[in-house]
Amino acid sequence: MPTIKEKVANIVRAQPDDSSFDEILQELAFSRRVERGLEDSRQGRTVSNEEMARRIRIWQK
C-alpha cells in the first residue's frame, strides 16, 4: 500500500503540466474526500436513501 506521500505525488504527477496550484489543491482535496467517504462506508457510517429523503423533506419546509 502506498504511503500518503506517494499518493500525493501520484496525484500531482497525474495533473496536466499547465495545472494551476489551485487546481492541484482541488484534486488533492477531492481525493481525500473520496478516501474519507470510502472509509465511512467500510465502517458502516452511512445514511440510508430513505433517511436522507426524510431529512431533505425536513430541510425543504
How many angstroms separate the first and last alpha carbons of the chain?
46
CA 17 – CA 60 distance, rounded (Å): 44
Give the per-residue pLDDT at 61.
85
What pTM was computed for the model? Answer: 0.77
| Parent domain of 8 | 4-59
Total count of domains within the chain:
1
User: What does DSSP assign to residue 15?
Assistant: S
Q: And the C-alpha cell for 23? A: 487546481
- pLDDT of 13-50, one tens digit each? 999 999 999 999 999 999 999 999 999 999 999 999 99
Distance CA 32, CA 1 (A): 16
- The confidence score (pLDDT) of residue 36 equals 97
Hunting for cell 487546481 — which residue is that? 23
* Maximal CA-CA distance, the chain: 47
